[in-house]
Structure 1
Amino acid sequence: MSDWLEVHRGEAPLIIAFPHTGTELPPELEGQFVSPWLARRDADWWIDQLYAFARELGATTVRTRISRSVIDCNRDPSGASLYPGQATTELCPTTDFDGAPLYAATPPDAAEIARRRATWFDPYHAALAGEVARLRTTHPTIVFYDAHSIRSRIPRLFEGELPQFNIGTNDGTTCAPELAAAVAAICAASGHSHILNGRFKGGWTTRHYSRPNEGVHTIQMELAIRGYMPEPDAPTPANWPTPFDPDFAAPLAATLTDILKACLAFARA
């Protein structure tokens, strides 16, 4: 694999995708951003470390190290909005989550967007599609789990404080209802807030790979960051990101372990 794309192959009927944990800014692009810190700020911080236990369960994981500010691997490559009428960011974002400009001067034009797509977006999704095909040769049913996190309060994107667990199945279309129900039940039992198909119904990845009638069930989990790392009221270069602390994250990791075990039980049933 390339130096920016990480693929760990497991044999269990479970794929976990990490489209937004990357923080790398290619040298030829880094100077175009207002600041490297701002270009990295909205990463799904430490999610790949939070889910490190998944490999012990036999899961396959696919991760890009490239920052979402360079190209967002969970957006529709056509440029169509996944959430019409709501604030969101583009395939190659021009603003951060709060609406501040990311670029010091001119944002990427159509040719540059196409170059970034060919360089990073397309190979990432080719790897995912390849793992889906590989596992489907040995498993009649697999679960594709798209792993995310986000700051708990972003007024431009949603009102108030986000629930701890945000489960997305695109209004019940991307997986069997019993899988969504099993995941929601574990979230409810955790004592933390949760919602099914709220503000985050599942991004392009969840929708694109969904083929429940053919044995591919997809589900997105958007975590509020506060559950696994201390979250300041206002991120600054001095306090963000908070270092990953396995002890702080352990309670949430335990719930996520139960969730992934439920995904495996569903697939194997």
Structure 2
Amino acid sequence: MSLLEITRGESPLVLGLPHTGTDLPDDIAERLNETGNTLADTDWHIHRLYSGLGANVTSVRTTIHRYAIDVNRDPSGTSLYPGQNTTGLCPLTDFDGQAIYRAGAEPDAEEVERRRLAYHAPYHAALEAELERVREKHGFAILYDCHSIRSQIPFLFEGRLPDFNIGTNHGMTCAASIQRVVYEICSTANGYSSILNGRFKGGWTTRHYGRPAEGLHAIQMELAQATYMQEAPPWTYDAMRAERLRVHLTTILETLIRWRPE
């Protein structure tokens, strides 16, 4: 089982792909219940959606499913959304609040730490190395963290999610001009809705690496899955919807590639 897929480019832009993997080690998969084994909370097809977009970008993808460990969670287990429903470092429920493990088969603290070392740490070591590589070359780096989620999940948020959900932790993780230009592209995309720092304000990855004063900029894009796929099983990629969306994603990535500090 290959843990990481890394593509190296020479532009300042690095794509993070933390939730597209569907691989599960056998010792974890056999302990999941029927709900868990559907892998419903995958960021389905996101690596395909972004494939080939933007010139000379770097990407770092883990093939491990988030049910083994969520590499976009604080490794300490601290919630980024206190008081709101969410899933943890090693999720015990799906996004609908349903248990994903067979009774008595949940990981204990020792196993959570083992998984952190085996899967969480290597992903972030690779991501940090690529960000440092391009920052050394350009004097700055931009992390664009790629995500998607079902557009309606009552357990996590009310109503229907906008199509483009941009997270910068209220502007703290990137230069103001990066936030502004990405939001402008999304808000003027015909036929799509958008929001800045709504339900999704940037996960641990965005908040951890986003240090604009040090030349490290990070922004999260959470797409509503209805924009490019069927949201019900078997979660089929919709090529026509995807191609319409890819036009705007291309504009975002190419704009970020051209961006320079003021």
Q: Normalization by structure 1: what TM-score?
A: 0.93
Q: Is the 8 A contact 1:98 1:155 kept in 2?
A: yes
Query: What is the aligned length?
Result: 260
Residue matched to 2:147: 148
Deviation at 1:245, TM superposition (A): 3.5
Q: Counterpart of 1:90 in structure 2: which amino acid? A: G
- Partners of 2:38 and 2:226 in 1: how far apart? 21
Q: Is the 8 A contact 1:13 1:268 kept in 2?
A: no
Deviation at 1:35, TM superposition (A): 2.4
| Unaligned residue ranges in structure 1 (runs of 5+) | none
- Partners of 1:161 and 1:49 in 2: how far apart? 24
Q: Counterpart of 1:20 in structure 2: which amino acid? A: H
Q: Counterpart of 1:135 in structure 2: which amino acid? A: V
1:22-171, aligned counterparts within 5 Å? 22-35=21-34, 38-54=37-53, 57-106=55-104, 107-171=106-170
Deviation at 1:164, TM superposition (A): 0.1
The yes-or-no answer on 1:14 pairing with 2:7 is: no
Q: Is the 8 A contact 2:15 2:145 kept in 1?
A: yes
Residue matched to 2:218: 218
- Partners of 1:35 and 1:147 in 2: how far apart? 27
- Partners of 1:7 and 1:42 in 2: how far apart? 23
SS of 1:57's partner is: coil
Q: Counterpart of 1:27 in structure 2: which amino acid? A: D
Alignment match of 2:255 (pick from 259, 262, 268):
262
Q: Is the 8 A contact 2:12 2:140 kept in 1?
A: yes
- What's the CA shift string for 1:183-204, capped at 9, x where partnerless? 0111111121100000000000
The 1:268/1:246 distance shift into structure 2, 3 A limit, reads farther
1:201-212, aligned counterparts within 5 Å? 201-212=201-212
- Partners of 2:261 and 2:12 in 1: how far apart? 7
- Partners of 1:95 and 1:172 in 2: how far apart? 31
SS of 1:95's partner is: coil
- Partners of 1:154 and 1:96 in 2: how far apart? 11
| Unaligned residue ranges in structure 2 (runs of 5+) | none
SS of 2:52's partner is: helix
SS of 1:135's partner is: helix
SS of 1:248's partner is: helix
Deviation at 1:12, TM superposition (A): 0.5
Q: State the percentage of identical aligned residues.
A: 52
Residue matched to 1:246: 239
- Partners of 1:230 and 1:168 in 2: how far apart? 24
Which 10-residue stretch deviates more, 144-153 or 28-37? Answer: 28-37
